[in-house]
Amino acid sequence: MGKKLILKASAGTGKTYRLSLEYIGSLIQGIDFRDILVMTFTRKATSEIKERILSFLYQMCFEQDFKEEIERNLKNIYGEQFIINYAKLKDIYSDIIENKDKLKIYTIDAFTNMLFKNIVAPYLKIYKYEIIDDDGNKEILTKTFQKLFENKEAFNIFRDFLEDNSERDMRKYITMIEKLINERWKFIVIEEGNKTYNKSFEYSDLDGLIEEFKNIVNIISDIKGYEPEQMFKKDFKDFWNTSEKKEYIYEKYDSFLKNTPWNGNKIKNSKKADITVEVDNLTNIYSKLLENLAKDLFNTKVIPYENNILKTIETIYRVYDEIKMREKKFTYTDISNYTFKYLYNKDLGFIDDDGNLTNEFFEVIDGNIRSIFIDEFQDTSILQWKILKNIIDKSENIICVGDEKQSIYGWRGGEKRLFENLDIIIDADVEILNTCYRSSENIIKYVNDLFIDISQNTGNESSSNWTYIPVKYIEKEDKGFITTIIGNEEKSALDIMIENITTYYHNNYNGIGIISRTKKHLNMIAEKLSEHDIPYTLESQANLVDLPSIKPLYNIIRWLVKGDYLALLDSLRSDLLCISTELLKFLIDNKEKFQEWLEDSYINEKFDDVNQLKIIKELQNIYKNTNGETRTLAYKLIISLGTTSKFNTQDDKKDIYTFYKLLKTYKYFNEFIIDLEDNENDTKFQKISGTNEGITLLTIHKSKGLEFDSVFYFIPKSKRHSNYKGMEVYFKTDKNYREVTDFLVCHGKFDCVLENIPEITYLKEEKEKQQLEEINNLYVALTRPKKNLFVVIEDSKTLEDESLSKLKSHTVGSLNIKDLADKKIENNIDVLSINLQENEKHYKIPIEENYLHGLEKIGLCNLDIEKKRVAGNIVHFFLENLREWTKENIEFSKKITFSRFTSIVGIKELNRIFSYENLEKLENRCKILYSNEWDYVHNEYVVYYKESEEAESQIFRLDRLMIKKPINNVKGKILIIDYKTGSHNKEQSEVYVKAVKQMLKNYKVDEKYDILFEYIELNI
């Protein structure tokens, strides 16, 4: 058996370095890289570990100094007897470089998406789908809610649900549905167990307990000399006077369960009377009364509520799934849920009778998994664990890296205790990485002292379960600096923080991070930075095309590219164009006439007199005359509509300029639309507040995994949390997380019931989990800085919190001002950049983008050329997705191609392109592509080329690269394929060949291959 290891890695202790070494160790031990699976939780981490692995391999193969260091570190892990065959390692490196697409290094979301795409989606007959975020899913949640009302049968079921969940704000119903969707995995796992749950409690009748309670009250009243009703609080006096006490308690149960009914001052001991025994008896009997009342209410109110919810859930999921399958828009939560739900469907053949993965499953993921490495394991959810567990069970080597102190994603299913107990669950060894390479000495000591204190603080019930092992530091000349800033009556903490920034970091803001708990507080800080002209960057979740200043422009582009008439109407009625309601109605009713007017085949004075419509007409003419190119129309679109005069704040202008720059990265508008639809969540489509250089503003969750030279951690004043909870889904599994042991669907209004039943511990556990996660948030924030830490506390009362009490009055070390001055940066202002040197910041679009000048540059274009170009792109896409020239593969690739391009060119044009005659032509031209002689085939292969040692590397993307390996003394062959729809560029083809030769030379295999080049004509 191989290696089973749990690496517990505190912040900055080199887990990526260690995982990369373990990966190379597996390669040296003879495991094919195709059989090694690495999973992380962020794209950044995926990129880092992939880059580190390739860098280590290159250094070991070609750079002596680095080779010795890496070999030494490998022997520290595997022992001095660990032998490295460098000739074999070079072959491995060459194999990886030739087959980078076979590296199995994924984010957990990307891996699940791969399973969904290759296993579940084909089963559900889904050939193309869009991944959306939670904001994008709001529309589908709203549609789900609407459908529940439209369908009479569904509404009858849902009506009872609404009666049990009466809310004033209709949006809270949407929130309930969203919660049910996010917690769906729990119900999938519950169904998997196929168990029945007996939830009702036995309880004593309240009559006898009420009688005992009355008797004790009477005894105390006799001793104290009060009338019994005088002993009760005002709100409970009626209880004593009514003869129907049991009914009264049931009617006012929440008051009784939340409060003691007697007045404490009336039943205190006095010199005349010691009633300690009687008060103890009163308290005990009242506790029994409440417990039995709560159990009765649980049976009669909570269980029916849950049954009603469970009955409704099936309907909600059915309606939601119908919309999802129709619109084919999925969140990563959806993809995880559907993958788990269908992966274990035995009809698919990927799970055997014992619940184990079959060989067919591993064929789908292109190889058996002999080694599996999982990073940031503390963020793994139970559903993700259930998907991974079967793969882990089949693996020889298992290494899971994590840090329970950095588990801050409990709100989205991250299960900290799973990692805490993982060594027991999979019977693995534990190793602790306890040397921090990131932070300086003073910061390490500060963090150690603070969290040792928290872990030993037994006064806080939850912190007694929070363990901390001190970490070591690396000796450095700069010992680091820590100070605490606390707001006071004269000056706010935020103002003092700004003073520190301007004093110590004037015009040198790179390497500074400001971290806070929520986006709301970051926006407040951003405003303050703007007031002092301090540059910053604040990532927004908002999509650029959804902004009020951009959406009308985007909708016009959608109309131009896709003929989306509704998008055009949305733009016309926006604040930018603002046509009258009367005209809007006319355009809705007269779509064909308006389109004829646009084509100059219909005269309408009503349209001719409207300036906005004349502009739209002009834009359409430019779009057609320039074949949909962005280089002229992007500028004309913004200027002709007066966008910058109507949206004229500095932020608006920056958004418009950012959008303009984005459009200019595409040659054609249809390429922009396709990319946006396929990659909506890409950061390039997000709004960025601030400047490209400056202070980085991040929430704690966004800062995880990052580091900064200096960190300002802003702690806002504590605010009371809302008592509103709404519906909750509580969930318990066995200690190995194999099966559900109990669950409860409840509403916050029943919390008082749950709190009075000793057997129910959900609320206590949830509270403790939240408290522990808050400590984790603090730990993550304080471990981001390398050199300098400023803890900024808005209100001194915040320090009354036990976990924050040691933060006050700390100043340790000194700030290295010389180091900061040496790193001062110079701003190179470009005409396309923000001009920070003038009083009013502005954004310039260069004069050469003038419309008329642009037309002169473009010259006369032929629409037929554009049609051929688009058709060529479509055929290119078709060939990329075609593995073999067989009827089955052709139909599959056609389905994907039609799904992607129907909205762009229409079904008629696609049928023409893929007619029998055209497919026959393609087959004759492309025979070489599908020959069996090739050992490796790569689409969109990236190569680098340097004309000289001093020159910068150029990046080229080859349409297709095919490799035949050398055999014995016979040279291998590499064929570069370039798809063309027009003229051939001989110089470009020569550069491609040189780039591939250069790559082979770097691997010292250039003498083993002949390089060929061929064009494939895509005009049909």
- 12 annotated ligand-binding residue: yes
Amino acid identity of residue 774, one-letter, is: E
Q: Please give the helix or strand (H or E) that residue 136 lies within, else none.
A: helix 134-150
Q: What is the pLDDT of residue 932?
A: 83
In whole angstroms, what is the distance from residue 5 CA to residue 21 CA? 14
If you write DSSP's letter for every residue of 92-120 in order, what string do you get? HHHHHHHTGGG-EEEEHHHHHHHHIIIII
Within 8 A by CB and 6+ apart from 944, the residues are 953, 954, 955, 956, 995, 998, 999
Q: Which of 318, 337, 359, 312 is nearest to 157 (CA)?
A: 312
DSSP assigned state of 381 = B
DSSP assigned state of 735 = T
| Angle (nearest 5°) at CA 96 between 94 and 102 | 150
Q: What is the pLDDT of residue 267?
A: 83
If you write DSSP's letter for every residue of 288-311 in order, what string do you get? HHHHHHHHHHIIIIIHHHHHHHHH
DSSP assigned state of 981 = S
If you write DSSP's letter for every residue of 404-425 in order, what string do you get? GGG---GGGTB-HHHHHTHHHH
Amino acid identity of residue 370, one-letter, is: R
Tokens of 353: 């009778």
The 10 Å CB-count burial string (b at 16+, else e) for 605-641 is: eebeebeebebbbebbebbebbbbbbbbbbbbbbebb
| Angle (nearest 5°) at CA 575 between 570 and 577 | 70
3-state secondary structure of 428: coil
In whole angstroms, what is the distance from residue 18 CA to residue 73 CA? 9
Q: Are strands 536-543 and 481-486 parallel, antiparallel or unpaired?
A: unpaired
- 14 annotated ligand-binding residue: yes
Within 8 A by CB and 6+ apart from 249, the residues are 206, 210, 239, 256, 293
Q: Which of 208, 209, 229 is nearest to 218 (CA)?
A: 229
3-state secondary structure of 977: strand
Q: Which of 542, 546, 533 is nearest to 574 (CA)?
A: 546
- 642 annotated ligand-binding residue: no
- Note whether 787 and 480 are within 8 A (CB): yes
Q: What is the pLDDT of residue 331?
A: 93
**For the chain, which residues make up each domain, given as ranges?**
4-123+336-433, 155-327, 442-535+695-821, 541-690, 863-927, 931-1017
Q: Which residues of the chain have pLDDT under 70?
A: 1, 151-172, 193-195, 458-464, 539-542, 601-609, 650, 678, 681-683, 688-693, 719-725, 802-803, 808-809, 817-867, 899-900, 903-904, 953, 982-984
List Cα–Cα distances, 172 to 138, 141, 165, in angstroms: 12, 12, 9
- 367 annotated ligand-binding residue: no
Q: What is the pLDDT of residue 827?
A: 36
Using a cut of 0.75, tell me whether the model's pTM lies above it. Answer: no
3-state secondary structure of 696: strand
φ/ψ (deg, to 5) at 263 = -85, 115
| Angle (nearest 5°) at CA 583 between 582 and 587 | 120
- 511 annotated ligand-binding residue: no
Amino acid identity of residue 554, one-letter, is: Y
Q: What is the pLDDT of residue 494?
A: 94
In whole angstroms, what is the distance from residue 747 CA to residue 403 CA? 33
Q: What is the pLDDT of residue 124?
A: 92
φ/ψ (deg, to 5) at 742 = -165, 155
Q: What is the pLDDT of residue 607?
A: 65
Q: Are strands 1009-1017 and 329-330 parallel, antiparallel or unpaired?
A: unpaired
3-state secondary structure of 140: helix
442-535+695-821 shares its CATH topology with 931-1017: no
Rg (CA), the chain: 34
Pick the CATH number of 4-123+336-433 from 3.90.226.10, 3.50.50.60, 3.40.50.300, 3.30.1050.10: 3.40.50.300
CATH code for the domain defined by 931-1017: 3.30.300
CATH topology of domain 442-535+695-821: Rossmann fold (3.40.50)
Q: Which of 829, 828, 832, 830 is nearest to 635 (CA)?
A: 832
- 16 annotated ligand-binding residue: yes
- 593 annotated ligand-binding residue: no
